[in-house]
């Protein structure tokens, strides 16, 4: 259930003036692609949504959020006046035929191109976002059944994790905890098996696999990956739940190590955003798009979330 609402994160800024490489953007903004509402109980409140946990995750890392609405994009609200190269929409769970997938594909290509010309453009995918990244890179859907619904697991790190960017700032004792304690919250039915991943030349050459996990059916799936060349990151699990989801009916680890892990990954991705030199030309343009223009709704009495932003 939670996986359906996972998010593709991406930095989205208008490139207006190239800044010298050495300057750091200390006002990073992360765009979050909204998802189409599918749960009938949620339908009265909006057409698309973002669980607040993702927003808080970014904010806790020192970044600001801009929601990227799929529906408005489809209705022709081109953000061209604000973003000269990026249009993002949310969508359904179908990773190939949905508008979400089509838009993400356009966006993904733009991000590739931007990075190719030295214009730093990070993407983060959580759960469904992770799966989507694999589809975009492989150009086919390689998912198979890897059920791990409401289960927290220790990460089985590969040898590549030790030299990864994602875990670079992790103190050794926290990495050990992450590999021994069930801190990574899984909510998915599908995934990419390690065999499928390694057999696929496109995936294998694009991403380093940083961790593996075993699903309830015994199948081993890729749980964490990062781009070898591109600043693209994927987690099949949910690092935002550790600090920002509390429903006692679900397996959301809240130990000190779990919270620290979640903090460090949020900081990591926001720091990636700091390396982007994109920014809005006008402060007013920026203000109009920021998440602060919206209020989250209390939804704990009818969803597994505490709060959701509806659009």
Binding-site ranges for ligand NAG (CB under 6 A): 150, 156, 158, 212, 214, 249-251, 298, 301-302
Instruction: Report the distance separating Cα 18 and Cα 3, nearest Å.
Output: 37
The catalytically annotated residue of 3, 78, 102, 127 is 127
- The question of whether 238 is a catalytic residue gets the answer yes
Catalytic position from the list 238, 254, 278, 279: 238
Q: What is the smallest separation between the CB atom of 49 and ligand NAG, expressed in angstroms?
A: 15
Residue closer to ligand NAG by CB (options 144, 150) is: 150
Shorter beta-carbon distance to ligand NAG: residue 190 or 230? 190
Residue nearer to ligand NAG on the CB measure, 28 or 191 = 191
Q: Is the CB of 160 or the CB of 259 nearer to ligand NAG?
A: 160
Q: How far apart are CA 12 and CA 88, in angstroms?
A: 9
Sheet holding 297-298, edge to edge: 35-36, 48-51, 307-310, 297-298
Q: DSSP letter string over 20-68?
A: PTT---SS-EEEEE-EE---TTTGGG-SEEEEHHHHHHHHHTT-EEEEE
Whether residue 127 lies in the annotated active site: yes
Minimum gap (Å) between residue 85 Cβ and ligand NAG:
39
In 3-state terms, the chain is what percent helix, strand and coil (to 5)?
A: 35, 25, 40
Backbone angles phi, psi at 152, to 5 degrees: -100, 140
Please state the closest distance from residue 68 (CB atom) to ligand NAG, in A. 27
Minimum CB separation of residue 288 from ligand NAG in Å reads 29
By annotation, the residues acting in catalysis are 127, 238
């Amino acid at each position: 259930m939670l996986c359906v609402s996972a998010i593709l994160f991406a930095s989205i800024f208008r490139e207006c003036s190239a800044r010298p490489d050495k300057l750091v953007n200390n006002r990073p903004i992360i765009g979050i692609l909204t998802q189409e509402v599918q749960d009938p109980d949620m339908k009265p409140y909006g057409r698309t949504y973002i669980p607040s946990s993702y927003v808080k995750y970014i904010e806790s890392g020192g970044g600001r959020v801009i929601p990227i609405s799929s529906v408005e994009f489809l209705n022709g609200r081109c953000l061209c006046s604000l973003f000269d190269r990026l249009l993002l929409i949310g969508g359904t769970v179908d990773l190939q035929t949905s508008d979400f997938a089509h838009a993400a594909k356009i966006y993904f290509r733009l991000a590739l191109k931007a990075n190719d010309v030295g214009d730093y453009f990070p993407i983060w995918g959580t759960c469904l976002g992770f799966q989507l990244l694999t589809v975009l890179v492989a150009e086919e859907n390689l998912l198979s059944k890897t059920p791990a619904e409401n289960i927290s697991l220790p990460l089985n790190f590969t040898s590549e994790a030790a030299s990864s960017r994602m875990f670079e700032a992790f103190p050794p004792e926290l990495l050990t905890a992450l590999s021994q304690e069930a801190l990574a919250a899984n909510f998915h039915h599908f995934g990419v098996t390690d065999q499928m991943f390694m057999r696929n030349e496109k995936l294998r050459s694009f991403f380093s696999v940083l961790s593996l996990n075993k699903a309830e059916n015994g199948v081993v799936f890729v749980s964490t990956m990062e781009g070898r060349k591109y600043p693209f990151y994927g987690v099949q699990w949910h690092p935002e739940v550790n600090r920002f989801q509390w429903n006692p009916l679900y397996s959301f680890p809240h130990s000190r190590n779990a919270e620290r892990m979640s903090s460090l990954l949020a900081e990591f991705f926001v720091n990636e955003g700091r390396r982007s030199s994109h920014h809005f030309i006008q402060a007013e343009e920026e203000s109009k798009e920021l998440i602060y223009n919206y209020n989250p709704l209390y939804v704990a009495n009818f969803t597994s979330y505490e709060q959701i932003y509806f659009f």
